[in-house]
Amino acid sequence: MRITVVQFNPLIGHVEANARRIIDQSIACRDRGIDLVVFPELALCGYPPLDLLESEHLVELCRLWASNIAQQTNGIAVIFGLPLKNPLSFGKSLLNGACRTGDGQVQQLWAKSLLPDYDVFDEGRYFAPAPPHYNQLWTHAGVRIAVSICEDLWHHSLSNLYERDPLDDVLYTQADWILNISASPYHMGKEALRHSVLSEVSARLRKPLLYVNTCGAQAELIFDGGSGCYDANGLKAASLPCFESMHADVDWSLGAWSPGKDWKIHDQADSDSEHELNLLRSALVLGIRDFFSKQNLNKAVIGLSGGIDSALVTLLAAEALGSDRVTAILLPSPYSSAHSVDDSLALADRLGIQCIRIPIHSAFFAHMESLEQAFGRPLQDLTEQNLQSRIRCALLMAAANEWGAVLLNTTNKSEMSVGYGTLYGDTSGALSVLGDLLKTRVYRLARHINKSGPLIPEHIIEKAPSAELKPGQADSDDLPPYDVLDAILELYVEKGLAQDRLMNLGFDEHLIQKVIRMVDACEFKRFQSPPVLRVTAKAFGRGRVMPLVGKLVY
């Protein structure tokens, strides 16, 4: 049985475009003598469709296009994910489904049993679980295949989050192999986690497994592909590259997988830190690229401060979009150091991007004068600092307006955590590239990238971080050293540890209280922040929903 796996990159809501690509790819496969082509979870409408699922029109479009795909791909079996109507008279009206076409018709339906409802996932909002006995084996030329969807394989790894394991169904004991179609997003460490889960499942059930994952970014969520095939001992026969929207063939014959040339043969995920940093870089680049391509955005604008964050964002944007689609803007103030300008120019030069300079002096003085006249006294220090940041935002957005470009945000996760940034100032932008990278990780990634060629001037990496909003300012005036701060933030924000547990870990009590107070106090800033490319298991955004008014009081 010859199978093609497609690491599909759908457009959310654009059913026709997704369907036409499914048709084209399936016809090409049929012409090459392939028996089955597999697309991922909800490939037809894109994942996550969110409240578009509340539109009956979307569901009807999916039904019509599924028929259309069946008709146009007559002669090859095609499996893809789509929302289905729930046949039961109660519960949510939809199923997170999959269908198989062939011989001109939709011939079989499946649905997901376990609906994740945590972190960035809210499938319980839209879907009912697969009704009893809804999922059946598919027997093709004597081979019995059990089809499952994403989370359905994850019960054992989620400490009884769900009432029952759908893999206990007799379906899975009768199958020759198991197919899983997924839309499972990347975070650091996910490759190894996924490998251990899939490996455990195939070993426990003693069934070979073929795993097909989405690849592409949808605003915050970056789907990494990394499809794989496992033998009945849970050993990974082979996997497809991460972050490449591609298709590849694999044969099922004599009870074993024979992967084609695009598959990488290995038996364990590569997990050293250089490998993780490579994946992180690819994730961010794909995140930027798809954000632009899927919205037909053309150019990116970045305010280049001379610091590490904006330097890294500029580099990643140039890598994602090409140097000709990125413009850096220098916005020096009376407090900017000479090295900030020089370092920025050096970076722009190395990246081959356009760089323009718009000094903020005169706008800053005009604001100050109007305000001091209105108030009859000099402004406070903090007001002056915020003003500079907001003027830069206005100038950057003006440049974006002029060029039909989009501003990229350069805030890192440490700053976002403690609110070290000005709302409507440096917190602005269409997409936050580094909002899920703590400052120490920003440095690690910058150093990693520089190993393969010194793209970022060393001085940018080495100098002490400063917002340069007043003379001689340094981040360390207001914040704990980043290595200490990030260690606390990782435990409090990413791992969700409470104050008392942090104290038991040996951190200074007052420091912990200060950091927690800072994090909790700036929920209002994060509420209005741009979408953040998610690269950890707990990013700011829809995966961390905190009350705006009210916080945990110890």
Which residues carry out catalysis? 41, 112, 150
| Among the listed residues 1, 14, 68, 192, the single contact to its own copies using CB under 8 A | 14
89 counts as binding its own copies under rule CB under 8 A: yes
| Among the listed residues 2, 390, 439, 534, the single contact to its own copies using CB under 8 A | 390
CB of 371 to its own copies, least distance (A): 5
| Among the listed residues 1, 12, 137, 484, the single contact to its own copies using CB under 8 A | 12
Q: How far is CA 387 from CA 157, 204, 465, 522, in A?
A: 49, 61, 20, 19
365 counts as binding its own copies under rule CB under 8 A: yes
Our CB check for its own copies shows the closer of 90 and 338 to be 90
CB of 118 to its own copies, least distance (A): 6
Our CB check for its own copies shows the closer of 107 and 370 to be 370
CB of 361 to its own copies, least distance (A): 8
CB of 172 to its own copies, least distance (A): 19
Stretch of residues binding its own copies (CB under 8 A), selected from 249-257, 336-344, 384-392, 459-467:
384-392
Our CB check for its own copies shows the closer of 16 and 483 to be 16
In three-state secondary structure terms, 497 is coil
CA atoms within 13 A on the CB side of 415: 22
The residue with tokens 């793209």 is: 455
- Site residues for its own copies, 453-492, by CB under 8 A, read none
366 counts as binding its own copies under rule CB under 8 A: yes
Residue 482 has φ and ψ, to the nearest 5°, of: -60, -30
| Among the listed residues 72, 85, 108, 162, the single contact to its own copies using CB under 8 A | 162
In three-state secondary structure terms, 334 is coil
161 counts as binding its own copies under rule CB under 8 A: yes
CB of 48 to its own copies, least distance (A): 7
| Among the listed residues 106, 143, 395, 503, the single contact to its own copies using CB under 8 A | 395
Our CB check for its own copies shows the closer of 96 and 239 to be 96
Nearest to 489 by CA among 449, 552, 435, 447: 435
Our CB check for its own copies shows the closer of 2 and 294 to be 294
Q: Residues in contact with its own copies, total (CB under 8 A)?
A: 98
| Among the listed residues 246, 345, 379, 461, the single contact to its own copies using CB under 8 A | 379
Largest pairwise CA distance in the chain: 88
160 counts as binding its own copies under rule CB under 8 A: yes
CB of 520 to its own copies, least distance (A): 9
| Among the listed residues 153, 405, 423, 449, the single contact to its own copies using CB under 8 A | 423
> Both tokens of residue 514?
């200060």
226 counts as binding its own copies under rule CB under 8 A: no
Our CB check for its own copies shows the closer of 506 and 554 to be 554
- Site residues for its own copies, 186-215, by CB under 8 A, read none
Q: Contacts by 367-370 with C-beta closer than 8 Å and gap 24+? A: 367/391
In three-state secondary structure terms, 536 is coil
DSSP string covering 405-455, please? EEEEE---HHHHHHT-S-TTTTT-SSEESSTTS-HHHHHHHHHHHHHTS--
Nearest to 330 by CA among 300, 361, 355, 295: 355
CB of 500 to its own copies, least distance (A): 7
Sketch the per residue contact string, 321 through 360, with its own copies: x for CB under 8 A, - otherwise: -----------------------------------xxxxx
- Site residues for its own copies, 283-302, by CB under 8 A, read 290-291, 294-295
- Rounded Cα gap, residues 83 and 106, in angstroms: 14
547 counts as binding its own copies under rule CB under 8 A: yes
Q: Are strands 177-182 and 228-230 parallel, antiparallel or unpaired?
A: unpaired
Our CB check for its own copies shows the closer of 14 and 514 to be 14
| Among the listed residues 3, 5, 15, 153, the single contact to its own copies using CB under 8 A | 15
Surface-to-core class of residue 339, CB atoms within 10 Å of its CB (0-12 exposed, 13-18 middle, 19+ buried): middle
| Among the listed residues 104, 401, 508, 517, the single contact to its own copies using CB under 8 A | 401
> Both tokens of residue 243?
């972050």
- Site residues for its own copies, 46-85, by CB under 8 A, read 46, 48-52, 54-58
> Both tokens of residue 16?
């026709």
In three-state secondary structure terms, 15 is helix
530 counts as binding its own copies under rule CB under 8 A: yes
- Rounded Cα gap, residues 362 and 352, in angstroms: 29
Nearest to 444 by CA among 277, 272, 270: 277
> Both tokens of residue 461?
């990496």
Q: Which residues lie below 8 Å from residue 487, measured CB to CB, with a gap of 6+? A: 507
- Rounded Cα gap, residues 41 and 112, in angstroms: 10
Surface-to-core class of residue 44, CB atoms within 10 Å of its CB (0-12 exposed, 13-18 middle, 19+ buried): buried
Sketch the per residue contact string, 110 through 139, with its own copies: x for CB under 8 A, - otherwise: -------xx---x-xx--------------
CB-CB contact of 181 with 175 (8 Å): no
Stretch of residues binding its own copies (CB under 8 A), selected from 9-17, 245-253, 317-325, 461-469:
9-17
CB of 469 to its own copies, least distance (A): 13
496 counts as binding its own copies under rule CB under 8 A: yes
